[in-house]
Structure 1
Amino acid sequence: MSSTPPPELQFSRNLLDTFIRAALIAILVYSCYQVFHPFLSTLLWSLILAVTLYPLHRIVKARLGNHDGRSASLIVVLAITVLLVPVYFLGASLTQSVHVAIETVKNGTLHIPPPPASVEQWPLIGPPLYAFWVQSTSDLTSVLQSVAPHLKGFALGLLSKLAGIGAGFLVFMASLVVAGVMMAYGESGHKSAMRIANRIIGPDRSNSFIHLCTATIRAVAQGVIGIAFIQMVVIGLGFVVMGIPGAGLLAMVILLLGIMQLPLPLVTIPVIAFAFFTEGTSLATIVFAVYTFVGGLLDNILKPMLLGRGVDVPMPVILIGALGGMLAGGIIGLFIGPVVLAVGYKLFWQWVDAGQAPVIIDPPESADQVAPQIRQG
């Protein structure tokens, strides 16, 4: 004859089993995260690129006989080629410039022209800048020796930044390849996303939230890339008209800086200074300076217009999510931030509206209905 344990003991056993299972699940989740963590950034970039490029993938697939693999491979090859060409020319130009500078210093043919007398009259920085410039024209070697200790830390920091940019570029290339694989299996990936969303938020709302996430990613990506392309055309046209050396290469640098959300004055201000130094102060250089400076600020005007297109969420939510995500997580946060904020915004208002009866406001009575009541009164 089997005896059943008392309810208190049975409850204790169930509670202990629950804690053990929860602890095992937590250990499993933590272990999976540790294994998955080195590839997290790459896979997030791959997902963003796959979602952004998938409409183009469907168009190309229809023209290639509905072959997913061929279409995805073609898009990835073209994207890598488009990215590698400006990077190659940029690297070649930098290498040649450094080589010429080193040879000039070795041969002793580097001569700095004397400063104009007007430089000394500049407020605050004029006298020390004039003295430093004069010393550089007469004894450049001693000047370089005096500033070398200060330039060492700057050079090391710059090399570290360049190494980080190079590593990030390689990660982006790998993400493009993985994104091609995701696009090739896009339909099965969409079904998997639907199954996960059905489990988390229910089948009645899963489709709308998946559409919201994909539309937000595409709006941000197309807005960022589109704005960068517009600025490249506008500023690059000014470089060509003004006759700036390497205008095409500088325009490609503008495009890359726009995509990476780096400030364009890093390029435009030195180019404006070069134009004034070589051409002097004239109406053409003043117009070029104003035109280039305004072109570098176009993103502040275009972002509010393009970032929220096609998304069922107010534009300020997308803009705040993009800016806050970029400050918190870098470039990848530019895409994750709007998605998180948009989903949170929709969930908040669905929670507010849940269980509330619609408020019906009676229309105001017309004058014809009010007049008899006044006469009866």
Structure 2
Amino acid sequence: MKNKTADLIEPLIALAAICLLSLTIFAIIKPFLAATLWAGILVLSTWKPYLKLVALYKGRRALAALTMMAVFGGFFLVPVIFAASEFASVVSVWGMQVKDSFTHGWPKLPEWLTSIPLAGANIEQFWLKLGDRDSETLQTIRSYIAPASQILLMLVTEIGSGMMLLAMSLFIAFFIYLDGEDLLAWIHGFMARIAGERSIELLAVSLSSTKGVVYGFMGTAMAQAVLAWFAYLIAGVPNATTLGFASFILALLPGGPVLLGLPAAAWLYHQGDVGWSIFMVLWMLLVVSSADNVIKPLLIGKGSRLPFILILFGVLGGALAFGMLGVFIGPVLLTVFYELARSWIFPSNSLPSTDSTNSDEVSN
């Protein structure tokens, strides 16, 4: 009886020790989890170009990895820097304009703002009370200052942390490039322990799904952002670069860039540029939106068919879980999970075993 009790207790103690070790390790790597996931996605999606660079540089893997880092830095960081610089300059100009408008007394609101149906009259009345230093109005404003300041601080902090995570992910990707084959061997062994004979097939599903999201979603988002930026630039909309970068983020959702394009068209209309306003509406609806239906299938091919609701969950849930990088990580992880579940439930219809390209790529 004692031997049976000992045989039961010892495995439980070993399991508890493994769980405790796993939780400790998770606590250690948690601050770097988002950056590591994004680094892995980048490396997985660009492994073939990296190998071509290695061959071009005659086996100098570090130099090839540095070249990839430079390309990623130009792709991700340069647009952000330009957008931030443009936004800062515009804010400075706006500050000077606001200061000048108050030099000759309390200014009047623009006619287009006060002529808004239903809300325009209330906005003008509130503005006039504010100019008369109405105590109730001032108290209302004070009640909103603290929450607005907290939201602004949180937004700035989130953007800053997102940029740091992006830079960290490029740093981590450098080392993943150098040790990619060893890491793949570990993944092969781990999947073989879990899935057995189907490990190669499931890895092929993961690979094709990840590439499908990165090439399809990111490529389409970039194309839509460039198209939207071009329209903002030639139409004379302020902050064209900033709006283009925002279009890249919103393009992860179907119809997202239109959310910025239509208000820009309304601004052009109020400026008196009716022709450019019509152009903006038609360009956003016919060109930018249709790019999602044309470019994405070409880039994804037979890749992911992730439902819209899961895309929405991936973007929003990823942002809540991982911050700014989660906007990209969330859809990738959900797509991989969705495709793995689909291949497990419907193996005869969706296993990629007939796709020799994916199988060979995983096995190599």
* TM-score by shorter chain over 0.5: yes
| Aligned 8 A contact 1:115 1:130 in 2 | no
Match of 2:317?
A: 328
C-alpha separation in 2, matches of 1:95 and 1:61: 40
- 2:27 paired with 1:34: yes
| Aligned 8 A contact 2:265 2:276 in 1 | no
State TM-score, norm by structure 1: 0.75
C-alpha separation in 1, matches of 2:132 and 2:75: 42
1:169 Cα offset (Å)? 1.6
1:47 to 40, 44, 48: 40
1:93 Cα offset (Å)? 2.2
1:73 Cα offset (Å)? 0.9
Match of 1:345?
A: 342
- More displaced 10-residue stretch of structure 1: 18-27 or 141-150: 141-150
1:182 to 172, 176, 181: 176
- More displaced 10-residue stretch of structure 1: 296-305 or 90-99: 296-305
1:51 Cα offset (Å)? 0.8
C-alpha separation in 2, matches of 1:46 and 1:316: 22
C-alpha separation in 1, matches of 2:231 and 2:278: 12
Give the AA of the match of 1:343.
L
Aligned 1:1-377 pairs, distance under 5 A = 8-107=1-100, 108-109=102-103, 115-116=110-111, 120=115, 123-132=117-126, 135=128, 139=131, 148-149=141-142, 150-202=144-196, 204-258=197-251, 263-265=256-258, 267-280=260-273, 282-293=274-285, 297-298=289-290, 301=293, 305=297, 308-311=300-303, 315-316=305-306, 321-330=310-319, 331=327, 332-350=329-347
| Aligned 8 A contact 2:262 2:280 in 1 | no
Q: Could you report, residue by residue, the CA deviation over 1:333-366 in whole angstroms, capped at 9, with x for unpaired residues?
A: 211111112112212234999xxxxxxxxxxxxx
Higher relative contact order (Cα pairs below 8 Å, separated by 6+ residues)? 2
1:23 Cα offset (Å)? 2.2
Give the AA of the match of 1:63.
L
Counterparts in 2 of 1:328 and 1:247: CA distance versus 1, 3 Å: closer
- More displaced 10-residue stretch of structure 1: 144-153 or 322-331: 144-153
Q: Could you report, residue by residue, the CA deviation over 1:61-108 in whole angstroms, capped at 9, with x for unpaired residues?
A: 232223222111111022113333222222222222333333344453
- More displaced 10-residue stretch of structure 1: 340-349 or 233-242: 233-242
C-alpha separation in 1, matches of 2:262 and 2:18: 55
**More helix per residue:** 2
Give secondary structure in 1 for the equivalent of 2:226.
Answer: helix
| Aligned 8 A contact 1:320 1:338 in 2 | no
C-alpha separation in 1, matches of 2:163 and 2:254: 14
1:141 Cα offset (Å)? 7.8
- More displaced 10-residue stretch of structure 1: 41-50 or 261-270: 261-270
C-alpha separation in 2, matches of 1:115 and 1:35: 55
Counterparts in 2 of 1:65 and 1:322: CA distance versus 1, 3 Å: farther
Give secondary structure in 2 for the equivalent of 1:32.
Answer: helix
Give secondary structure in 2 for the equivalent of 1:157.
Answer: helix
C-alpha separation in 2, matches of 1:117 and 1:89: 31
Counterparts in 2 of 1:298 and 1:172: CA distance versus 1, 3 Å: farther
Q: What are structure 1's unaligned runs of at least 5 residues?
A: 1-7, 354-377
Counterparts in 2 of 1:351 and 1:11: CA distance versus 1, 3 Å: farther
Counterparts in 2 of 1:36 and 1:129: CA distance versus 1, 3 Å: closer
| Aligned 8 A contact 1:51 1:214 in 2 | yes
C-alpha separation in 1, matches of 2:59 and 2:21: 40
Decide which structure has the larger Cα Rg and report it: 1
Q: What are structure 2's unaligned runs of at least 5 residues?
A: 320-326, 351-364
Give the AA of the match of 1:335.
V
Give secondary structure in 2 for the equivalent of 1:61.
Answer: helix
- More displaced 10-residue stretch of structure 1: 245-254 or 301-310: 301-310
Q: Could you report, residue by residue, the CA deviation over 1:158-186 in whole angstroms, capped at 9, with x for unpaired residues?
A: 23112112101210111112112112222
Give secondary structure in 1 for the equivalent of 2:62.
Answer: helix
| Aligned 8 A contact 2:266 2:277 in 1 | no
Counterparts in 2 of 1:119 and 1:29: CA distance versus 1, 3 Å: closer
